[in-house]
Structure 1
């Protein structure tokens, strides 16, 4: 009793299956003549006949019938041609995707960012990239600089926008300087401080504050600013790193919340996330230490990552060049 032939992909390749055979089969399906099909794929008719004979041996079945006016695919030939057309299309698509990856027009880019630059720089960039480079997939992590640095060294992100802390060896990273991050004091729209004339920073200390946990960069910047102005830190504070919780507390109570200015600008814009918040007109020069775009010195970026980093650097330069 004859044994069934092994028709796995590896066995077919070992048996001599080749792409030119499939291309020739498709040409015959389209043209109906061996001579015309051979000319279309760029070979002689004897070479075409030889390839077809090899393909029939590999398939183990007749693939076409000869007629006075040409050749017609058998049922087996038509089935193989249909599958071959799909396979060649998939191969062409795969090579197109490889080209896209190599050019930086596709791939995955893993960005880390602190909240302010995330809204000011990363979000607008991603919005534009959905139009110009829709095949690039973004994975964005929003966290504090210390957690982002840890993720960078663990290779969980490709780069981050934040600060390089003292425990990071500067020889291990490349930093593109961006600038200081302004801080704004955020309150609800009916807060009593908004009705006070000649408002001072000291006036805000009569109210509860909601801030980062002790040791957080933004909190340290606020406390240092108060100290430079001979003021004590707030006596009543709620500590949280959650922006969502902070917004909920601001909306329901008379707390004062220092947040990145870029975040505050979004929150107070009419029709945006929450138009019921306001920025206090005080301490306009309060800011966190300068931050930058941080990447590993010894890690070569993929083409997609390099493209996005270049576009971010362009936007950073354009922002620095704007007056005011």
Structure 2
């Protein structure tokens, strides 16, 4: 039985100790050696192998001799019909083929990365923009670029621009906060974001012959926490029309909880019109919600598609950026 010192020196899970892994490379192994060995296996002739490598036969013979010295084993045998590889030679030729396959795959990956056909794209968006622009663009891109991985962060503009500055997203659809210098960002406005006041089917307001903002203000509401852009826009809209602010408000930044609260409670929620249309659409979640026939001109300031100024996106990210930009 081997003692502990011997056991520690043994390879673990088939892996050689660190200093031995590149022994052949340090002894002078080059790709030319591996190409020659693969050619010898394929042709069985030194002259034919030399022709495949576009070198002279004497040069091929010297290369083969170098490889045997580097490997420290006899890799081939000469006979009347030409050359045959030994057990060691066949093993090394198999490894050589694997090396060249990996190199060819790396070449293909580089080409696909350059063409934007693979890679990772990280995009951020406010909810309305995610539904109206980001999801349709990713749906189209997945058909033409199936090897690209997409991730989407849906959040407030304040958090999204922090993510952009930190490199956690490639670009985002949202708003540049007034606390940030617009010169550091490339932006293109997408237009105002219309807002609908939404209730569940069967809400008491629906039974009224006429619905106005005063009646809405008397109901419970679900809105962003105080200070959120959507909440500020709604409160300013009501104040401009001399409508008192709702007294009972469930505050949440979660769109999912907002939709759930609408369907479970007699509450009103301001939502991006694109979100409402998605929820009510035939291809969506078949959500049982209705947009009230009031405040048809309610909107929040326009959002934009934004990236860091002077920063080059990866080909895959640029592909999605251009697609979304073209949808405005």
Fold-level similarity (TM above 0.5) = yes
Alpha-carbon distance between aligned partners in 2 of 1:270 and 1:85, rounded to the nearest angstrom: 53
Partner residue of 1:50?
Answer: 62
Q: Deviations over 1:67-102 (max 9, x none)?
A: 211211110000001111111111111122122223
TM-score with structure 1 setting the length: 0.91
Q: Deviations over 1:196-239 (max 9, x none)?
A: 22322222122101000111011111111112222122121111
Partner residue of 1:3?
Answer: none
Partner residue of 1:233?
Answer: 245
Q: Deviations over 1:279-324 (max 9, x none)?
A: 21221211110110111114332222222211211122xxxxxxxx
Partner residue of 1:100?
Answer: 112
Unmatched segments (≥5 aa) in structure 1 = 1-5, 317-324
> Residue 77 of structure 2: which of 61, 65, 68 is its match?
65
Q: Report if the CA contact (8 A) 2:122-2:169 is conserved.
A: yes
Alpha-carbon distance between aligned partners in 2 of 1:239 and 1:141, rounded to the nearest angstrom: 21
Q: Report if the CA contact (8 A) 2:174-2:303 is conserved.
A: yes
Unmatched segments (≥5 aa) in structure 2 = 1-17
1:231-270 aligned within 5 A: 231-270=243-282
| Residue 129, structure 1, aligned to residue 141, structure 2 | yes
Alpha-carbon distance between aligned partners in 2 of 1:252 and 1:236, rounded to the nearest angstrom: 16
Partner residue of 2:4?
Answer: none
Q: Report if the CA contact (8 A) 1:268-1:279 is conserved.
A: no
Q: Report if the CA contact (8 A) 2:138-2:320 is conserved.
A: no
CA RMSD of aligned residues (A): 1.7
Do the aligned partners of residues 91 and 306 (structure 1) sit closer, same or farther apart at CA in structure 2, a change above 3 Å counting?
same
Alpha-carbon distance between aligned partners in 1 of 2:21 and 2:215, rounded to the nearest angstrom: 77
SS in 2 for 1:282: coil
Instruction: Decide which moves more: 82-91 or 196-205.
Output: 196-205
Partner residue of 1:156?
Answer: 168
> Residue 20 of structure 1: which of 25, 32, 38 is its match?
32
TM-score with structure 2 setting the length: 0.90
Partner residue of 1:305?
Answer: 317
